[in-house]
Amino acid sequence: DTGVSQDPRHKITKRGQNVTFRCDPISEHNRLYWYRQTLGQGPEFLTYFQNEAQLEKSRLLSDRFSAERPKGSFSTLEIQRTEQGDSAMYLCASSSLPGQGYTGELFFGEGSRLTVL
Amino acid sequence: ILNVEQSPQSLHVQEGDSTNFTCSFPSSNFYALHWYRWETAKSPEALFVMTLNGDEKKKGRISATLNTKEGYSYLYIKGSQPEDSATYLCAFRNNAGNMLTFGGGTRLMVKP
């Protein structure tokens, strides 16, 4: 396992279309996070999972956004009826649970860049 | 809403210069302060995770300090090299949750 992978790396879509991003975390990591980063800003927290349970969602996450992690492994982030303001880099990260050697460090994927025309 | 600020927003230095950036964060309910380096077209990578007031960490030419009582951390790069060009992000975690709140980043460009 070489790290966190995200797919697709780039997505261009027209306003009003639905898009879905996939994240495959490091296999032994229980926690999975989604962040969104827009130009000139730092990553903003969207949501996180511990195994298959979605434990926290940001108020930034409108009802057009939904995230799942059905088997506690990979996760998907779907955006329905995309708007131009959804254009951003969507980052996925994973981490282990507290225990021996735990630092809280997040391991990030390379991101999925969304452009909504 | 947690406020994490980084300064400067961007920095241009010559190869060989030493430089430093600032991250300020809430001084209450502190749990951890992270520094990440994010190179273009790559994934952000952790440099340091700091948890104790007065902590100083070092990795090669890069070091960081932490003051949790006043809510700031400094990142230092000694003898900057072109390969240090990246965006440096700090992220704060409080003791009420498991997610990180990121600052806006400092974009460093090192000219050869």
Indicate the residue of A4, A42, A111 with minimum beta-carbon distance to B103.
A42
CA distances from A103 to A41, A97, A106, B15, B34 (A): 25, 9, 9, 32, 10
**Total length of chain B:** 112
Cα separation, A62 vs B55, whole angstroms: 39
Please check whether residue A31 touches B, CB under 8 A: yes
Q: Where are the beta strands (DSSP E) in B10-96?
A: 10-14, 19-24, 30-38, 45-50, 56-59, 62-67, 72-77, 86-94
What are the two backbone dihedrals, phi and then psi, of residue A85, each rounded to the nearest 5 degrees? -70, -10
More confident residue, A117 or B98: A117
Looking at residue B83, the DSSP 8-state letter turns out to be G
Residue among B21, B39, B99, B106 with most chain A CBs within 10 A, to mutate: B99
Mean confidence (pLDDT) of chain A:
93
pLDDT band of residue B26 (cuts 50, 70, 90) is very high
More confident residue, B42 or A72: B42
How many Cβ pairs closer than 8 A exist between chain A and B? Answer: 58
Q: What is the mean pLDDT of residues B29-54?
A: 95
Mutate which of B23, B38, B95, B100 to test chain A, going by most A C-beta atoms within 10 A?
B100
Q: For residue B42, give the chain A residue with the closest CA.
A: A110
In chain B, % helix, strand, coil (3-state, to 5) comes to 5, 55, 40
What would the pLDDT profile of B10-24 be if each residue is shown by its tens digit? 999 999 999 999 999
- A43 Cβ under 8 Å from any chain B Cβ: yes
- How many Cβ atoms from other residues are within 10 Å of residue A50's Cβ? 16
Examine the pLDDT at A1 and tell me if it is beyond 70: no
Contact of A62 with A86, CB cutoff 8 Å: no
Is residue B2 within 8 angstroms of chain A, CB to CB?
A: no
* pLDDT tens readout for residues A66-111: 999 998 899 999 999 999 999 999 999 999 888 766 788 999 999 9
Note whether A106 and A3 are within 8 A (CB). Answer: no
Residue B99 has pLDDT above 90, yes or no: no
pLDDT digit string (tens) for B50-93?
A: 999 999 999 999 999 999 999 999 999 999 999 999 999 999 99
* Distance separating alpha carbons of residues B3 and B102, to the nearest angstrom: 9
Average pLDDT of the segment spanning A9-35: 96
Average pLDDT over residues A31-56: 94
Based on its alpha-carbon atoms, the radius of gyration of chain A, rounded to whole angstroms, reads 14
Q: Is the pLDDT of residue A40 over 90?
A: no
Contact in structure between B89 and B103 (CB atoms under 8 Å): yes
Q: What is the structure's pLDDT at A104?
A: 86
